[in-house]
């Protein structure tokens, strides 16, 4: 088991973030555990390499000590996600954070249309981030503007979808796997994909499975991390 000095020198920790936890909560849980169990100083460095929304689960990479300098490098690596889109409806947040605001027909949608529509989203694309996002405008997070009811026009950004495949179809739900560049919003992909199907879609389930060569299969929950540290302290 790692010592206090190991964490100060730098560690990369693979955490499987639970549903409804913020990335900030997960970092704080580990920070509190390490301070309590190993006596690390109050201001020791710890941070995550890429936010996951509270409604998403999966791989959250947390760096400690001197390895916090590697956060930017890790964030820049490609990411893999799996999840579920629900066709025939949209929400203002493009996911389940907000209620359905519009419904659309889906009786024209079949497997051929679903598969053929994928092609236009592979490669470099223009994508508008959701208005319910952590991007700042005038020093205020966009989701704060959105929750206040402000009308917001988001500027499109270039992003790259390296792989996009449908792994299951049970209308109105379709399961997917995406490999994409930094800065891609899967919620926006859901919304844009629904529009391209001449319908609507929102993101119902999202799990990050890979960042570069790091895999969620090798990750543990924050609770499991705490348990390991407590057991280490008792040995």
User: Which positions are catalytic?
Assistant: 53
Residue 190 phi, psi (nearest 5): -60, -50
Rounded to an integer, what distance in angstroms lies between the CA atom of residue 44 and that of residue 55?
28
Rounded to an integer, what distance in angstroms lies between the CA atom of residue 112 and that of residue 48?
40
Tokens of 146: 């959105």
Coil/strand/helix, residue 65: helix
CB 183 within 8 A of CB 79: no
Q: What single-letter DSSP state applies at residue 172? A: T
Instruction: Provide the CB-side half-sphere exposure for 72 (13 A, CA).
Output: 2
Residue 164's nearest CA partner among 139, 141, 192, 136 is: 192
Neighbours of 97 (CB within 10 A): 19
């Amino acid at each position: 088991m790692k010592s206090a000095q190991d964490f100060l020198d730098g560690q990369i920790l693979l955490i499987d973030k639970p549903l409804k936890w913020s990335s900030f909560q997960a970092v704080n849980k580990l920070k509190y555990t390490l301070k309590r169990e190993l006596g690390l100083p109050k201001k020791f460095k710890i941070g995550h390499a890429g936010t996951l929304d509270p409604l998403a689960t999966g791989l959250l990479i947390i760096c400690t000590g001197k390895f916090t300098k590697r956060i930017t490098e890790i964030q820049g690596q490609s990411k893999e996600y799996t999840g579920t889109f629900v066709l025939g409806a949209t929400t203002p947040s493009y996911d389940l954070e907000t209620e359905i605001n519009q419904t659309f027909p889906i009786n024209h949608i079949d497997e051929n249309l679903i598969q053929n529509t994928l092609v236009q989203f592979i490669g470099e694309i223009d994508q508008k981030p959701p208005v319910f996002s952590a991007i700042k405008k005038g020093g205020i997070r966009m989701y704060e503007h959105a929750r206040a009811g402000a009308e917001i026009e988001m500027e499109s950004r270039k992003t790259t979808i390296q792989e996009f495949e449908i792994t299951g179809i049970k209308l109105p739900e379709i399961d997917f796997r995406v490999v994409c560049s930094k800065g891609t919003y899967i919620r926006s992909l859901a919304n844009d994909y629904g529009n391209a199907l001449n319908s609507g879609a929102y993101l119902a389930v999202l799990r990050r499975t890979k960042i570069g060569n790091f895999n969620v299969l090798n990750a543990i929950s924050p609770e499991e991390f705490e348990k390991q540290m407590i057991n280490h302290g008792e040995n």
